[in-house]
Each structure stands twice: as C-alpha cells, then as structure tokens.
Copies of this chain bind each other. A is one copy, B any other.
C-alpha cells in the first residue's frame, strides 16, 4: 500500500479501510489530505478486489474539519482585482469539492465510522458517504457558519438529501452541536455504538456483509440510488432497464441461483 501523509490505508477481505491519520492535529484536513484522498479513491475505483470502503479517524476524534492554515494560505494568494480573485477562489473551491466528489462517486459503498468531533469539513465528508455510524461520544456541528461563511464543499448540497429540511436549516443557521443519539433520531447516522471499539466492530461487520454480495449487483444498486437523488422516477426506471440489459447477462445470477438451490453461501468473483 502506498504511504500517505494524512491517511493510513489498508485492504483485507475485500474491504478498504481509509483512516484519517493525523490524530495529533484532531485529523484536521490539511493540503495533503485534499490531494491524497483523490489518489486513494482512484485506486479504490480501479481495484476490483475492493468491494466496500470504511472511512474512520485515528485517535479520539473523527475530524475537526479543514485545517485553518490551509484557509490562510488561500487568502494569501488573493490580489487587488476582485474579479480575478473571484476567478481564483471559484477554481479553488471547485478543486476542494472534487476531493469529496470522488467519495460520492466511488463505485463501491463507503461507510463512515465516527467518534468524537465531527465538525465543519468533516460533515461535508460524511455527507458524501453512503452510510454513517457513530460512537456515543460523537459530536456533530456545521461549524462553517461560525467562520463567517456558507459551507461550500458539500454539506449544504448533500445533507438535505439525508435529513429533514427543518432540521438541516436549524443546524446550518445556528451551528448547534448535536450528539450521536440526536444524530440517529434525525437520520444523520444509521446506528450508534457504545464506544469506538464496538463502533469499528459493528461497521466492519456490515462491510463484510456487503463484501459477500455480488459486486456487480452492489455496484448497480449504488449507481441507481445515487442517480435517484437528482433524477426523475421515470428516468430512473429507464436507466435501470438499460443497465440491467447488460448486467442480467452476468454469471452472478446463476451463481446466486445455484447457491440458493443448494442452500449454500454464494461465492462471487471480484
């Protein structure tokens, strides 16, 4: 596995574990973080042996969000012309968004395991994952409002597809911190666990479950669910019909059917 500055990445049993690995900095998202995550997810997408991804944070906290040093360095590049500054800022924001778009567009399910702080940019990150699970000490806050800015790397775009409109607005306008239990009640996380160890156990158990399914079927399911966030029902129906026109010719259906008949667990190729 490649060495990364901001991450630790492991692959075993078809599960890639992507760990933010700057615990001494509360896993703040520095320059290395934003570029390395693109490489990591390109490798995940290109590697058929990876069937599921778990994202977690090393140490006591998931992540405190963007590194303030990085923000300062962007500010330093600004010049005198407002128009050319705007051109530069727009380009920079689009680049940072791209770092989380690779998570969102990853062809395999991505599960987030969250303990401790999950603030600002960390909310943007977990909103790009498929499912979220939390330890009971987790704390969530859309912190950007306290920096005098509207969040711009995904929270305001993706969270409204995950939790109710009334709740997302209150959280975004006030920056109020919620705990794991409230996060579960409003649908931000699927399930809570008593502590970090049982959190990782629980999340990896779900990941193993998914890794045992046909990767062709899982990929099709994810493509459709992501598609439906932004498309009409009739378009979605036509799209899955076109998709399955190829995929139902895969051997995985026969493998599944045979296993079903013989009451055995099916074994699918990558």
Bound form: Cα–Cα A206–B173 in Å: 9
Closest chain B residue to A93, Cβ basis: B241
6 A-B contact pairs sorted by A residue (CB < 8 Å): A86-B245, A90-B242, A145-B218, A149-B253, A158-B233, A162-B165
Question: Inside 8 A of A187's CB, which chain B residues have their CB?
Answer: 164, 166-167
Bound form: Cα–Cα A86–B75 in Å: 18
Q: Would A249 and B173 be within 8 Å (CB), given that A213-B145, A260-B146 are in contact?
A: no
Q: Would A156 and B89 be within 8 Å (CB), given that A148-B266, A190-B166 are in contact?
A: no
Cβ–Cβ contact B156 & A162, under 8 A: no
Chain B nearest CB: distance from A210 CB in Å? 5
Q: Would A150 and B221 be within 8 Å (CB), given that A160-B229, A246-B86 are in contact?
A: yes
Name A147-196 residues within 8 Å CB distance of B: 147-152, 154, 156-158, 160-170, 172-176, 187-190
Chain B nearest CB: distance from A105 CB in Å? 10
Q: How many residues of A contact B (CB 8 A)?
A: 103
| A interface, over-half SS | helix
Name A111-131 residues within 8 Å CB distance of B: 130-131
A40 on interface, CB distance cutoff 8 Å: no
Query: How does the 8 Å CB contact mask read for A27-38 relative to B, with 1 for contact and 0 for none?
Result: 000000000000
Question: Inside 8 A of A75's CB, which chain B residues have their CB?
Answer: 253
**Contact surface of A with B, Cβ cutoff 8 Å:** 68, 75, 78, 81-87, 89-90, 93-94, 97, 101, 104, 109, 130-132, 144-152, 154, 156-158, 160-170, 172-176, 187-190, 206, 209-210, 213-214, 216-225, 228-257, 260, 266, 268-269
Q: Would A147 and B257 be within 8 Å (CB), given that A166-B189, A250-B82 are in contact?
A: yes
Q: Of B156, B235, B243, B255, which contacts A150 at CB under 8 A?
A: B243
